[in-house]
Amino acid sequence: MQQFLPVSKEDMKKRGIQQLDFVYVCGDAYVDHPSFGAAIICRILELHGYSVGIIPQPDWKDDNSINILGEPRLGFFVSAGNMDSMVNHYSVSKHHREYDNYSPGGKAGLRPDYATIVYCNLIRHTYKTKPIIIGGIEASLRRLAHYDYWSNKVRRSILLDSGADIISYGMGERSVVEIADCLASGMDVKDITYIDGTVYKTRDKSFTEDAIILPSFEEIKADKKLMQKASILNT
Ligand code: B12
């Protein structure tokens, strides 16, 4: 019978795992069901031979919460959960929701606002250079300069504010395996720049021969109409 993914050092010991290949940090409780992105991504990685442990809803005020499974060999995957953390926390009229369907007992307050950014910053307190790959709805919809309803501001890509290395946006089944294989082969995460459905950061524009160049964050901030243009160019 298939076991649950390790959530503690004890679980790792039982499975004879000294060091995990990947640690997956998630804003939702761990529910091992295929309607949950976390279960899909972790099980797919497992299927391809990688060991994955999961830290659901870490205490973001405690650096140790990110260390409970030790340092992963290849990197971290991070997701806010099934929904954007701000949608999860607030109603459209910006009232705090009292109930969180993706937390044990429906308890609210077990994840931070802007969870992807907070979790990545937490990881970076301990692991300055370990590869971090972010994904799920929050990271996907915030992958470029975007309008943030909650702060009524245009925000830059979540890749910059989180300090993560790569965004795997949309469905992650294929790209996470490609990323894992690259890291396992010894590639530097900075060189993983060519996988479909991913975002990386660079100052080098020499690759842009056939590229569609969208208006920059600064341009969009200065002129709202450019946000529409960016959306149209991006579809
Ligand atoms: C089914 C569904 C529901 C069901 C949920 C059933 C359940 N038991 O979970 C119901 C009808 C109850 C529902 C309710 C709501 N929903 Co709904 N729902 C959906 C829907 C249609 C599919 C979600 C799903 O299960 N997908 C399957 C999973 C496996 O996909 P996934 O989570 O996206 O994961 C994939 C990728 O994101 C990626 N991935 C995921 N995690 C990670 C992590 C990493 C590291 C990586 C690399 C990749 C990765 O790979 C995964 C596999 O391909 C989506 C729209 C859509 N088409 O996505 C809206 C959607 C998620 N819902 C939404 C909303 C707003 C709500 C409600 C708040 C509506 C309301 N006003 O009440 C409520 C909230 C419910 C709650 N829990 O509090 C929004 C969320 C918007 C946002 N920005 O977060 C969505 C996106 C619809 C939309 N376009 O507006 N919903």
What is the share, in percent, of the chain residues with pLDDT greater than 70? 99
Task: Report d(CA 44, CA 124) in Å as an integer.
Answer: 26
Q: Reply yes or no on whether the pLDDT at 1 is more than 70.
A: no
Cβ neighbours around 127 below 10 Å, total = 17
Our answer on whether the CB atom of 74 is closer than 6 Å to any ligand 1 atom is: no
Q: Which of 160, 169, 234, 233 is nearest to 201 (CA)?
A: 160
Mean pLDDT of the chain: 95
Report pLDDT digits (tens) over 82-101: 999 999 999 999 999 999 99
Task: Report d(CA 77, CA 183) in Å as an integer.
Answer: 13
Our answer on whether the CB atom of 82 is closer than 6 Å to any ligand 1 atom is: yes
Our answer on whether the CB atom of 72 is closer than 6 Å to any ligand 1 atom is: no
Which residue carries 């080098």 as its tokens?
Answer: 204
Report pLDDT digits (tens) over 41-85: 999 999 999 999 999 999 999 999 999 999 999 999 999 999 999
Residue 182 near residue 188, CB atoms below 8 Å: no
Residue 74 near residue 180, CB atoms below 8 Å: yes
Provide the terminal-to-terminal Cα distance of the chain, rounded to the nearest Å.
43
pTM given for the model: 0.96
Our answer on whether the CB atom of 40 is closer than 6 Å to any ligand 1 atom is: yes
Our answer on whether the CB atom of 133 is closer than 6 Å to any ligand 1 atom is: yes
Residues near 8 by beta carbon (within 8 Å), at least 6 away in sequence = 68, 69
Tell how far the Cα of 172 is from the centroid of ligand 1, in angstroms: 14
Helix 173-184 and helix 37-47, axial crossing angle in degrees, nearest 10: 40
Residue 165 near residue 200, CB atoms below 8 Å: yes
The per-residue pLDDT for 228 is 85
3-state secondary structure of 96: strand
User: What one-letter code names the amino acid at 50?
Assistant: Y
CATH number for the domain running over 9-202: 3.40.50.280
Report pLDDT digits (tens) over 8-21: 999 999 999 999 99
Report pLDDT digits (tens) over 125-150: 999 999 999 999 999 999 999 999 99
Tell how far the Cα of 83 is from the centroid of ligand 1, in angstroms: 6
Averaged pLDDT, 17-36? 97
Burial of 174 (0-12, 13-18, 19+ CB in 10 A): middle
Our answer on whether the CB atom of 162 is closer than 6 Å to any ligand 1 atom is: no
3-state secondary structure of 90: strand
Our answer on whether the CB atom of 79 is closer than 6 Å to any ligand 1 atom is: yes
Q: Whose CA is nearest to atom 15 of ligand 1?
A: 83
128 token code pair = 């300055």
Task: List strand residue ranges (DSSP E) for the chain, in order.
Answer: 22-26, 52-56, 75-79, 132-135, 146-148, 153-155, 166-168, 198-199
Report pLDDT digits (tens) over 165-223: 999 999 999 999 999 999 999 999 999 999 999 999 998 888 777 888 899 999 999 99
Tell how far the Cα of 145 is from the centroid of ligand 1, in angstroms: 21
Q: Which residues pair with 124 in a beta bridge?
A: none
Q: Give CATH 3.40.50.280 domain extents, the chain.
A: 9-202
Our answer on whether the CB atom of 108 is closer than 6 Å to any ligand 1 atom is: no
Ligand 1 pocket test, candidate residues 23, 30, 41, 47, most atoms within 8 A of CB: 41
Our answer on whether the CB atom of 22 is closer than 6 Å to any ligand 1 atom is: no
Ligand 1 pocket test, candidate residues 22, 23, 40, 116, most atoms within 8 A of CB: 40
Task: Report d(CA 228, CA 220) in Å as an integer.
Answer: 9
Tell how far the Cα of 81 is from the centroid of ligand 1, in angstroms: 9
Q: Reply yes or no on whether the pLDDT at 29 is more than 70.
A: yes
Task: Report d(CA 151, CA 38) in Å as an integer.
Answer: 27
